[in-house]
Structure 1
Amino acid sequence: MESNIEHQAPKKLVILGGGESGVGTAVLGMQKGFEVFVSDFGNIKEKYKQVLINNAIEFEDGGHTSERILTADLVMKSPGIPEKAPIVKALLEKGVKVISEIEFASAYTNATIVGITGSNGKTTTATLVYELLKKDLNVALGGNIGDSFALQVSEGKFENYVLELSSFQLDGIVAFAPHISVLTNLSPDHLDRYEYDYNKYIASKFRITENQTEDDYFIYDADDVEINKWLDSHEIKAKKIPFSIKRKIEEGAYLEDNNIIITLHNNIFTMPLATLGVQGQHNTKNAMAASTVATLLKIRKQTIRECLEKFQGVEHRLEKVLKINNVMYINDSKATNVNATFYALDSMTTPTVWIVGGVDKGNDYSELLPLVNEKVKAIVCLGVDNEKIKAAFGNISDMIVETAGMQEAVKVAYKLADRNDTVLLSPACASFDLFTSYEDRGRQFKEAVRHL
């Protein structure tokens, strides 16, 4: 594969961030003959330090040595580091190329890549695509999920990759082009990283298709207003394949008489909704997107059907934890934005005690008001600062309780819930005020529920 990176053959590769993507890139960089230096402003986890030591890769943590970093020919920035970080600003001012792991690693593989992005549903869809493909194809899962894409490329074992891609990873691409790209949906998220400008965030998501050609495919939600608006005003080269639960689609996926129907190149796939392993509108859309990918890659219909029937979703996404005194406890810690929580509340069928809160990324809670009014009997706040949540829902909920941590939140929810109710952790916020990640938050929730 042609690559700008290889043409320029920069000698010094500096990697900012010593986590999964950083260490994977370091290993691949060493393998490709770069002089590699890893720098992390925080502390590098022991397991990653060991990988660096075993590969004789130089690193530092607990701060950046800017003199050394600024001599780089190429910099790979981990997705969690914002563009406005002083070291990144200094690099860009100096004209050093700053890219993402996805851009770096894709230059060293000829594998078929399926790239999946969107504000919500991308982890579920990526995991489901991987499950659909792995029986018939030699495939790996990577990107924002699972093992580092760069590390897997360095091992050279795979002919196909399914990559979950965040807007931050797409911000750092130059030539990266997946053969099949999927945009699950758009809703305001991470606006703190996009100067609170929703259009900048949307443009970032659409970068997934900017380098695709006429031989590639772009799969998208045709019911999404913002996606349609963008497509109406921008040209893309890839073949567009929509999916919809509201209208019939000639070439793509739609619903008819409670069946998913996918039509591609005169090939028709049908599947009854009732047999899907996970239910709910958003899961129907995830299944449509994933099945469309599988159909394009010529996976057998029988394999697709069996896989969709068996698939039970992903951890921390509407994950049923336990039933205690006939109260169901559900872990939706992965709901880090308002739209994800909208789906969660929408799927509730019993009175709900809702645990919400964390680091607000510029949230507008107004779209949740009708659902909270209809479904939520009590709100348990789980954040360092809950003022915005109290202001948003104070008029429609009689019961709003503030708590200081997960154990207390779960105990309070237990007291507020009656038989046949649901306790739902769906925070609509990032987790970094009280937890290390949404996974940490979800696991602490499950642990607290098990100790009730």
Structure 2
Amino acid sequence: MDHWHNIDNVVVVGLGITGLSVVNYLQKYQPQVTVRVIDTRETPPGIERLDQSIAIHTGSWQLEWLLEADLVVTNPGIALATAEIQRVLDANIPVVGDVELFAWHVNKPVIAITGSNGKSTVTDLTGVLANASGIKTAVGGNIGVPALDLLEEEADLYVLELSSFQLETTYNLSLVAGAFLNLSEDHMDRYTGMDGYRLAKQRIFQHATTGVYNADEPVTYPDITLENTLSFGLRQSADYTLANYDDEPYLFAQGLPILPASHLSLVGMHNTANVLTVFALLDAANVDYQDSLETLKSYTGLTHRCQLVADNHGISWVNDSKATNVASTEAALSGLHLNGTLYLLVGGVGKGADFSPLAAHFAALPLKLCCFGRDGKQFLDLHPSAEYFDSIEHIIQSIRPQLKPGDMVMLSPACASFDQFKSFMHRGDVFTALAKHYA
């Protein structure tokens, strides 16, 4: 189907890395169309890299351009409810995102992943294992490289992380497999409630041959009837699960024992569930991952996401700086098994969150709670061991003499970072440097 039939004028809304990728794609593959760019920021990121021949309007909306367009390609950061976008839709002008243009072009199998937590790890690991299995795989979307830029890689398989915002403007993405991992409260400034957020995530199943869902979270079950479904889970019965075999917990894929859980370098039960999801996605795409299990064993995760950054004298140091909300820290602690004490670093900018749900997780662990940052004192009542420090460095200096084999030092702050750090990445880098120094 030629989606470009009768499209002469395209307006790209929002520049930055995604907008630039859209403009570059249109210039290369659809040179017959006229492209114009609107960005309401005075000096949008990436403007210095925009081809001089492309007309751009900055600092405000340009309604005339929008209403002259045959197609509007909007940035995922711009809500469809925005008044100017609503005017475009009311004029029956199609509004799509960059992932929809990718869908029109791609002719190789695509796997896509959405969810509130863990989607970056699942996306990355799916790509790592597919490549290790000998399938040339390109990975991107909401993680790293924009979807349209992946088309330059001539891959045999594409793996995309997709946010709810991206899914809202995607209509024709055919998937060999799509996964909906989980749902927790997020982006409530954009949705009228959890149901709207959930329905956006459910769009991943629209054109999926196989739908992969979380048996432990009924909200992730596909709303539509699909050709195939596969489930993963740790509590409810599932196609991909954890069960005892040879007297130890094993990862099972459709009844077959694949690997002892103890062989994973990844930390936390949520990461065990992530690996099960990857197995389901690869099976759905007919990728034989048996030969890539050594690669899986050595995979320590994405930077700042429950990443094992040092393991010395039996003491493990885990950087989970990406845990900027309560749900992420709960995921890191849920089902965590360790032989010694967990020294947990929490605090930063709480964004008005209620930290009390963490108390039950704290109570279930052999814990020393180390609090820091602007809102760190809000954690002091949640565990008898809690102590406040003025910096991460002071925490590490203080606990270092007490550490013993079997202990774990984990940064999983449940807060944003911008009181003491430039970003969660900067916070994680500081922790990692301290870990490597003191380990």
TM-score, normalized by length of structure 1?
0.80
2:211 paired residue number: 218
Deviation at 1:160, TM superposition (A): 1.5
Deviation at 1:328, TM superposition (A): 5.7
Alpha-carbon distance in structure 2 between the residues aligned to 1:318 and 1:410: 17
SS in 1 for 2:20: helix
**Closer, same or farther: CA 67–161 of 1 in aligned 2, 3 Å:** same
Assess if the C-alpha contact under 8 Å between 1:335 and 1:428 holds in 2. yes
Assess if the C-alpha contact under 8 Å between 1:380 and 1:412 holds in 2. no
2:292 maps to amino acid: I
**Closer, same or farther: CA 449–312 of 1 in aligned 2, 3 Å:** closer
**Closer, same or farther: CA 150–436 of 1 in aligned 2, 3 Å:** farther
1:101 and 2:91 are equivalent in the alignment: no
Assess if the C-alpha contact under 8 Å between 1:276 and 1:308 holds in 2. yes
Q: Map 1:83-232 onto structure 2 (within 5 A).
A: 83=80, 85=82, 87-92=84-89, 94-135=91-132, 136-153=134-151, 155=152, 157-195=154-192, 197-212=193-208, 216-228=209-221, 231=222
CA RMSD of aligned residues (A): 3.4
1:370 and 2:360 are equivalent in the alignment: yes
1:335 paired residue number: 323
Q: Deviations over 1:362-417 (max 9, x none)?
A: 7453431212345553453545xx3xx756764646756486xxxxx323433553
1:38 paired residue number: 37
1:406 paired residue number: none
Greater shift after overlay, 415-424 or 294-303? 415-424
**Closer, same or farther: CA 21–174 of 1 in aligned 2, 3 Å:** same
Assess if the C-alpha contact under 8 Å between 1:115 and 1:163 holds in 2. yes
2:254 paired residue number: 263
Alpha-carbon distance in structure 1 between the residues aligned to 2:314 and 2:241: 38
**Closer, same or farther: CA 203–366 of 1 in aligned 2, 3 Å:** farther
Deviation at 1:50, TM superposition (A): 5.0
**Closer, same or farther: CA 244–321 of 1 in aligned 2, 3 Å:** closer
Alpha-carbon distance in structure 2 between the residues aligned to 1:72 and 1:284: 47
1:428 to 397, 414, 437: 414
Alpha-carbon distance in structure 2 between the residues aligned to 1:313 and 1:143: 18
Deviation at 1:433, TM superposition (A): 7.2
**Closer, same or farther: CA 131–451 of 1 in aligned 2, 3 Å:** closer
Deviation at 1:224, TM superposition (A): 2.1
Assess if the C-alpha contact under 8 Å between 1:353 and 1:413 holds in 2. no
1:241 and 2:227 are equivalent in the alignment: no
Alpha-carbon distance in structure 2 between the residues aligned to 1:58 and 1:302: 51
Deviation at 1:158, TM superposition (A): 2.1
Deviation at 1:180, TM superposition (A): 0.5
1:356 and 2:347 are equivalent in the alignment: yes
Deviation at 1:122, TM superposition (A): 0.9
Deviation at 1:448, TM superposition (A): 6.7
Mind listing any 5+ residue stretches in structure 2 that lack a counterpart?
A: none
Q: Map 1:311-326 onto structure 2 (within 5 A).
A: 311-321=299-309
Q: Deviations over 1:158-201 (max 9, x none)?
A: 23200011111112212223221112222222223223x12221
Q: Deviations over 1:238-279 (max 9, x none)?
A: 411112233554x55553422222139xxx562222222324
SS in 2 for 1:9: coil
Alpha-carbon distance in structure 1 between the residues aligned to 2:320 and 2:433: 14
1:200 maps to amino acid: G
**Closer, same or farther: CA 118–44 of 1 in aligned 2, 3 Å:** same
2:23 to 20, 26, 43: 26
1:9 and 2:7 are equivalent in the alignment: yes
Assess if the C-alpha contact under 8 Å between 1:277 and 1:312 holds in 2. yes
2:269 maps to amino acid: Q
Alpha-carbon distance in structure 1 between the residues aligned to 2:344 and 2:267: 21
**Closer, same or farther: CA 336–86 of 1 in aligned 2, 3 Å:** farther
SS in 2 for 1:191: coil
1:299 paired residue number: 287
Alpha-carbon distance in structure 2 between the residues aligned to 1:172 and 1:430: 28
Q: Deviations over 1:417-444 (max 9, x none)?
A: 3522655332334557776654344335
**Closer, same or farther: CA 324–91 of 1 in aligned 2, 3 Å:** farther
Deviation at 1:52, TM superposition (A): 2.1
Assess if the C-alpha contact under 8 Å between 2:129 and 2:289 holds in 1. no
Alpha-carbon distance in structure 2 between the residues aligned to 1:433 and 1:190: 21
Deviation at 1:61, TM superposition (A): 4.9
1:439 and 2:430 are equivalent in the alignment: no
Assess if the C-alpha contact under 8 Å between 2:232 and 2:277 holds in 1. yes
Deviation at 1:148, TM superposition (A): 1.3
1:380 and 2:371 are equivalent in the alignment: yes
Alpha-carbon distance in structure 2 between the residues aligned to 1:340 and 1:19: 28
Deviation at 1:297, TM superposition (A): 2.9
**Closer, same or farther: CA 260–411 of 1 in aligned 2, 3 Å:** closer
2:278 maps to amino acid: A
Q: How many residues align?
A: 423
TM-score, normalized by length of structure 2?
0.82
Assess if the C-alpha contact under 8 Å between 1:369 and 1:393 holds in 2. no
